[in-house]
Amino acid sequence: MTAAARDASYIAYPRLDAYGDGGFRIDGERRGGSILIVNGEVLSWPAASLAAADVDAFAPVFDAAPRPELVLFGVGARMAPPRHDVQARFRDAAIGLEFMDTGAACRVYATLVGEGRHIAAALIAVE
């Protein structure tokens, strides 16, 4: 077990039940718009598109204590890489960044949370 996983063992992660129609259903409740899940807390996320997901949009991840070992980034309906400055900031912070379409990120989130991994999720809402 990694140090991050030991430090995060008390975190209760929300269940991501569904996505689409411009939002998500989390623990049975509908949330409109993009979301950021950090240390089990679901935050509204202003990044409504991949272009809007700049380094500043990820500030809650970099400010988190404990920091996640990995961030799943759901970039929208179609797979595309995040901005180079975003990738560099994650690399410099030694936080893994996996990017994929939002649907895939939702599925991987459920798997990794089930394994007890200390992760965060940045999910751009899709229709």
Partners of 42 in beta bridges = 37
Rounded Cα–Cα distance for residues 56 and 9 (Å): 27
Q: Which fold, 3-123?
A: Hypothetical Protein Mth938; Chain: A, (3.40.1230)
- The identity of residue 58, as a single letter, is F
pLDDT at 45 over 70: yes
Better-scored residue on pLDDT, 4 or 54: 54
Rounded Cα–Cα distance for residues 116 and 119 (Å): 9
Phi-psi category of 62—alpha, beta or left, where left has phi over 0 and alpha has psi -120 to 50?
alpha
Sequence spans of domains, the chain? 3-123
In the structure, what pLDDT confidence band is assigned to residue 8 with cuts at 50, 70 and 90?
A: low
Rounded Cα–Cα distance for residues 15 and 33 (Å): 17
